C-alpha cells in the first residue's frame, strides 16, 4: 500500500475581514492517493480553492495538520516550503499565470532552469513536454501569440516539468471555450493515465466533474459527500 500524497487532518482556516471572522474551512479531513483524478466541487465560498491553496503550501491552516508525501508542512522552513512548491507541486491556474515576455518553451523550462538541470537535459525534457501537450512547432511563441487553450497547455507543460507529486488545477477550464475545455480535459486525462500524474481540481465545471474518478463535494468549508467512481 503506497503512502498518501496528501493528507489533511482536521484542517480549519479562519480569515479576518475587518473585525469579522470568516471560517473558510471547518475541521476538514481529506486523503489523496497517488494517481487520483479528483474534483473538489461546490458553490462559491465552499472552501475548495482555499483547500487547494493549503495543499499547495500557498496558504497555511489556522488549525489542523497538512501532510505532503509524509512531510508535515508546519515543520518546514520557508525555504523548504519554497523548494517543495517548486519541486513537488504543479500548479495550473484559470488565468494561466504565464510570464508574458517569455516564449512557450521558456515558460515551460523555467522551473527546470531554477532547479539547475543541465541545458541539454532541459531542452530534451521541455521539447518532449510541449509535444505531449500538442504544442510542437509553437515553442517560440509568446503568450500573446497563443490562444487561451494553447496558453493553458503551456501551463500544464510547466506544471509537469518537475515531475511533481501532485498537480493542483484551480478552475482550469474557466477561461476557454467549450471545445477547448474538452480538449484540455482529454489531455489531462491522458496524462493521468499514461504518466500516472495525480490531479486535484477545484471546479464548478460539470464537464470536469463528469470526468473525475472521485468527486468531493464541499459546502461551507467542509466535505458534504465523497464519491469514488469505478
68 in a structural domain: no
pLDDT score at 220: 93
For 49-62, how does the pLDDT look when each residue is reduced to its tens digit (9 = 90+)? 999 999 999 999 99
Q: Where are the extended beta strands (E) located within 42-172? A: 63-68, 71-72, 89-93, 166-170
Q: What is the mean pLDDT of the chain?
A: 93
Is residue 69 situated within a structural domain? no
**Is 219 within 8 Å of 43 (Cβ atoms)?**
yes
Whether 179 is covered by a domain: the verdict is yes
Distance CA 53, CA 63 (A): 15
Q: Under a CB-based contact definition with an 8 Å cutoff, are residues 126 and 89 in contact?
A: no
| 95 located within any domain | yes
The residue-averaged pLDDT of 173-190 equals: 89
Question: Residue 112 sits in a domain of what CATH number?
Answer: 3.40.50.300
Judge whether residue 29 has pLDDT over 90: yes
Q: How far is Cα 110 from Cα 120, in angstroms, rounded to an integer?
A: 14
pLDDT digits (tens, 9 = 90+) for 198-212: 999 999 899 999 999
Domain span at residue 180 reads 34-60+74-228
* Other Cβ atoms closer than 10 A to 123: 15
121 within domain boundaries: yes
- Is this model's pTM higher than 0.85 or not? yes
Does residue 66 belong to any structural domain of this protein?
A: no
Position 144 in a domain: yes
- The whole-number pLDDT of residue 1 equals 57
Question: How many structural domains does the chain have?
Answer: 1
The answer to whether residue 145 sits within a structural domain is yes
Amino acid at each position: 500500500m503506497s503512502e498518501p500524497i496528501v493528507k489533511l487532518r482536521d484542517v480549519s482556516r479562519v480569515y479576518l475581514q475587518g473585525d469579522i471572522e470568516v471560517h473558510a474551512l471547518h475541521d476538514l479531513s481529506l486523503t489523496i492517493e497517488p494517481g487520483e483524478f479528483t474534483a473538489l466541487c461546490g458553490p462559491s465560498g465552499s472552501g475548495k480553492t482555499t483547500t487547494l491553496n493549503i495543499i499547495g503550501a500557498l496558504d497555511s491552516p489556522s488549525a489542523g495538520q497538512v501532510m505532503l508525501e509524509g512531510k508535515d508542512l508546519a515543520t518546514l522552513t520557508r525555504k523548504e516550503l519554497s523548494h517543495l512548491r517548486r519541486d513537488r507541486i504543479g500548479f495550473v491556474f484559470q488565468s494561466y499565470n504565464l510570464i508574458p515576455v517569455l516564449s512557450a518553451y521558456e515558460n515551460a523550462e523555467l522551473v527546470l532552469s531554477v532547479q539547475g538541470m543541465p541545458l541539454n537535459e532541459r531542452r530534451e525534457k521541455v521539447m518532449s513536454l510541449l509535444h505531449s501537450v500538442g504544442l510542437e512547432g509553437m515553442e517560440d511563441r509568446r503568450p500573446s501569440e497563443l490562444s487561451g487553450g494553447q496558453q493553458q497547455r503551456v501551463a500544464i507543460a510547466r506544471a509537469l516539468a518537475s515531475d511533481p507529486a501532485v498537480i493542483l488545477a484551480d478552475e482550469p477550464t474557466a477561461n476557454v471555450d467549450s471545445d477547448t475545455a474538452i480538449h484540455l480535459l482529454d489531455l489531462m486525462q491522458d496524462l493521468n493515465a499514461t504518466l500516472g500524474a495525480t490531479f486535484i481540481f477545484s471546479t464548478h465545471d460539470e464537464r470536469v466533474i463528469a470526468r473525475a474518478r472521485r468527486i468531493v463535494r464541499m459546502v461551507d468549508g467542509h466535505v458534504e459527500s465523497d464519491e469514488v467512481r469505478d
